[in-house]
Amino acid sequence: MINVTKTFLPPLEEYNIQLQRAWNKEWLTNRGELVLELEEKLKKYLNISNIIATNNGTVPLQIALKLLGKQGEIITTPFSYAATSAAIVWENCTPVFVDIHPEYLTIDETKIENAITDKTTAILATHVFGNPCNVEAIENLAKKYNLKVIYDAAHAFGVTYKDKSIFDYGDISTCSFHATKLFHTGEGGAMFTNNTELHHKLFYSHNFGHKTALTFHGLGINAKMSELQAALGICVLSYMNNIISQRKKVVDFYNTHLNLNKIQILKIRENSNWNYSYYPVIFNSEKDLLNIESKLNENKIFPRRYFYPSLNTIEYTKGEEMPISESIAARILCLPLYVGLSNEELLNIVSLINLNL
């Protein structure tokens, strides 16, 4: 069976070595030495100056919206995972959708200005499949209208734009370290900001608001990463160069062997160093997608309709019609992409697709 993804697992003995450190310290959470070590190693690997490791990738979005959303209108994309819009609604803000670019699949920055009202407090945009948004245009609009910018960079680990980490853009960026991501801690995530005051707020917000054991800076929740998660992250991080190179080989195989005259693939934004996080293909119609998906499933190959549905169509968002996002969501399929896919398996996948296009 070939699934859309497969979690990369380092040798168990390497994980046990890191776990033993936690056992020896008898310290499993509350920012032990493994979490601190992972943060330092990630700062070096990503060439960034700050990071706050968290227990998953969704809570950072909620914290960011709690601090910057002010229960106002949040301009956002309809083409993302449900967590993006759910976090907005969860924090008592109102999602205001703006349609997407038909090739980059990120929010269409040329349509943002028309969606801004006196109730708008922030822009929450997603670097879709690790493909950067037009960060310059979004920053200019934010400055013009005094808005905050939050980036859902769940897929964007290791991505750079103009030789700068994608996490360095926006007021706050967030990332997911879920087991399905190319870098992972099993379950986990992180949040980033270059603003010292905001970093302070993010930090105490992810630790119940604590100043000391008995005093508090303000309101907070529990978003701390455990030592068990950090132990896995330390192990996985040492394999990142191999993980990315292996994923690149899979992407190159698809690009070379798929009939790209009959399907659309993701256009990577110029000046970006992409991370090969997903391989989405867009068919001419939903009927074509369903036919291909059925043929693959018959051969025990299970791609994923991702992202589907368009978030503006979910009941709790009550969004306006978004023609491009709705069309793309109905026709997009992410193909299997992970370390360990053989050329024989890949050839079977592309042959089935090409034969049935």
Q: Where a domain ends, among 220, 237, 254?
A: 237
pLDDT single digits (tens) 96-112: 999 999 999 999 999 99
Q: pLDDT at position 152, please? A: 98
User: In terms of domains, do 231 and 257 share one?
Assistant: no
User: In terms of domains, do 120 and 257 share one?
Assistant: no
Q: Which amino acid is at 92?
A: N
Least trusted range by pLDDT, from 77-81, 240-244, 318-322, 332-336: 318-322
User: In terms of domains, do 264 and 332 share one?
Assistant: yes
160 forms beta bridges with 165, 273
User: In terms of domains, do 173 and 257 share one?
Assistant: no
Q: pLDDT at position 318, please? A: 85
Q: Output the six-digit token pair for 162.
A: 């103009």
Q: pLDDT at position 319, please? A: 86
DSSP code for 305: -
Contacts of 207 (CB under 8 A, 6+ apart): 31, 220, 222, 223, 224
pLDDT single digits (tens) 79-91: 999 999 999 999 9
Q: Output the six-digit token pair for 74.
A: 């949040």
For residues 299 and 348, the answer to whether their CB atoms sit within 8 Å is: yes
CATH of the domain at 73: 3.40.640.10
User: In terms of domains, do 246 and 216 share one?
Assistant: no
Catalytic residue among 181, 248, 249, 300: 181
Active site residue 181: yes
Task: Answer yes or no: is pLDDT of 294 > 90.
Answer: yes
User: In terms of domains, do 196 and 335 share one?
Assistant: no
User: In terms of domains, do 232 and 251 share one?
Assistant: no
pLDDT over 90 for what percent of the chain? 99
Residue 74's domain spans which residues? 3-237
Contacts of 29 (CB under 8 A, 6+ apart): 224, 226, 227
Q: What is the mean pLDDT of the chain?
A: 97
User: In terms of domains, do 316 and 327 share one?
Assistant: yes
Q: Where a domain ends, among 237, 267, 282?
A: 237
pLDDT single digits (tens) 237-277: 999 999 999 999 999 999 999 999 999 999 999 999 999 99
Return the sign of the alpha-carbon dihedral for residues 176, 339, 101, 132. Answer: positive
Q: Where a domain ends, among 180, 212, 237?
A: 237
User: In terms of domains, do 30 and 176 share one?
Assistant: yes
Q: Output the six-digit token pair for 76.
A: 């956002």
The tally of domains found in the chain comes to: 2
Residue ranges with strand state E in the chain: 2-3, 52-54, 73-76, 94-97, 120-126, 148-152, 160-161, 164-165, 172-176, 189-192, 264-265, 272-273, 280-282, 301-302, 332-334
Picking from 212, 149, 163, 158, the residue whose alpha carbon sits closest to that of residue 190 is 158
CA 182/CA 25 separation, integer angstroms = 29
User: In terms of domains, do 203 and 271 share one?
Assistant: no
272 forms beta bridges with 161
The model's confidence at residue 339, banded by pLDDT at 50, 70 and 90, is very high
The model's confidence at residue 222, banded by pLDDT at 50, 70 and 90, is very high
For residues 251 and 22, the answer to whether their CB atoms sit within 8 Å is: no
Q: Collapse the DSSP code of 347 into the 3-class scheme (helix H, G, I; strand E, B; otherwise coil) and give the result.
A: helix
CATH of the domain at 323: 3.90.1150.10
Task: Quickly list H helices, 69-158.
Answer: 82-90, 135-145
